[in-house]
Amino acid sequence: MLLFDFSLLEIPKLMSQFSKPGVMGFLKVSQLFSSVGIFIVPPILLAALRGKPVFKELSMNVKPLAFWIVFCCVLMWIQLPFINAIGFFNNELVFPEFLKGIETWMREKEDAAASVTRAFLDMPTAMNLLESLFVMAVIPALGEELLFRSAIQPLISKWTSRPQLAIWLTAFIFSFIHFQFYGFLPRFIMGAFLGYLFFWTGNIWYAVAAHFANNGLAVVMSYLVQHKLLETTTDDLGVGPNGLIQATLSLVLAFVGVLILRKQLPASETNQQLTV
């Protein structure tokens, strides 16, 4: 309020007044602070209250291997056509008549979130691109992985004594908490993949890198399309006339990549016990 001269009563209205001077700056700063407060601070406090070293407790204390960081990022990109295809079918979800009220509410939440996302992805300058990358890719990748994979997933695994169940339950919570139900399934699948990355390695940095690769690519592609340096974004992969072929190839390549990663990464990681 001190920075942008908006009153508390005006804040709800700002969500639909993106062209008003100062609104986008206000929303970006608000998003930054809320993301840090919701996703980064709680797992750090949890580790601190337990009296444990924060970096070790959150599985941040082992330096990741550069080759496998790149591999995880590429593997995330390879999955995009398959994830987009799942998202396409998710978006076509139609409820029975007696649940129309729920469907309407879900559509309204989806449309509201989409309008905010479009506003954040309006990037006239390179500085706007950097701002969006930081707010929409860097902070969510770090914060969401710390909360869901470093904190929640191990807790559920401890309570249930079933690590695989913990991965899928955490992925469900991860997707549900976004309150974008017409993107629930693709986000759920992505959450499970990130959960397995963490489960296989015990190192949160690989999941953070893959998460950043997904969000960062979307931001950069949007910027390039806006400035007419590209004609289309990755959202078109896996849908349309060749969508089935693209999605199938994506799934096969992703499966092969996961097998390679699952077999090779833990052994490499064991030999790289360099604390940071």
Contacts within 8 Å (CB) and 24+ apart, 68-73: 68/206, 68/261, 68/265, 68/268, 68/269, 69/205, 69/206, 69/209, 71/257, 71/260, 71/261, 71/265, 72/197, 72/206, 72/207, 72/209, 72/210, 72/213, 72/261, 73/209, 73/210, 73/212, 73/213
Distance (Å, whole) CA 273 – CA 270: 6
What pLDDT does residue 274 have?
38
Q: Supply φ then ψ for residue 92, to 5 degrees.
A: -90, 5
pLDDT classification of 237: cutoffs 50, 70, 90: confident
Between the ranges 23-32, 91-100, 187-196, where is the mean pLDDT highest? 187-196
What pLDDT does residue 266 have?
60
Beta bridge partners of 62: 275
What pLDDT does residue 127 have?
92
Number of neighbours of residue 141 by Cβ within 10 angstroms: 21
pLDDT classification of 275: cutoffs 50, 70, 90: very low
Quote the tokens at residue 63: 């330096």
What pLDDT does residue 273 have?
43
pLDDT classification of 233: cutoffs 50, 70, 90: confident
Distance (Å, whole) CA 168 – CA 274: 30
Q: Supply φ then ψ for residue 275, to 5 degrees.
A: -80, 150
Q: For Cα atoms 115, 121, 124, give the angle at the middle one, nearest 5 degrees.
A: 125
Give residue 134's Cα distance to chain centre: 13
What pLDDT does residue 172 have?
96
Contact assessment for residue 209 and residue 63, using Cβ atoms and an 8 Å cutoff: no
Distance (Å, whole) CA 79 – CA 75: 7
251, pLDDT greater than 90: yes
Mean pLDDT value across residues 80-103: 85
pLDDT classification of 269: cutoffs 50, 70, 90: low
pLDDT in tens, 25-79: 888 888 898 899 999 999 999 888 888 888 989 989 888 999 999 999 999 999 9
Listed residue (89, 87, 81) closest to 244, CA to CA:
81
Count Cβ atoms within 10 A of the Cβ of residue 100 and give its class: 0-12 exposed, 13-18 middle, 19 or more buried. exposed
Mean pLDDT value across residues 138-153: 95
Q: pLDDT averaged over the chain?
A: 87
The larger pLDDT score, comparing residue 133 to residue 13, is at 133
Mean pLDDT value across residues 162-168: 94
Given phi > 0 = left and psi -120 to 50 = alpha, else beta, which region is 223? alpha
What pLDDT does residue 272 have?
46
pLDDT classification of 15: cutoffs 50, 70, 90: low
Residue carrying the six token digits 């590429």: 74
pLDDT in tens, 209-224: 999 999 999 999 999 9
pLDDT classification of 238: cutoffs 50, 70, 90: confident
Mean pLDDT value across residues 74-88: 93
Compute the radius of gyration of the chain from its Cα atoms.
Answer: 20
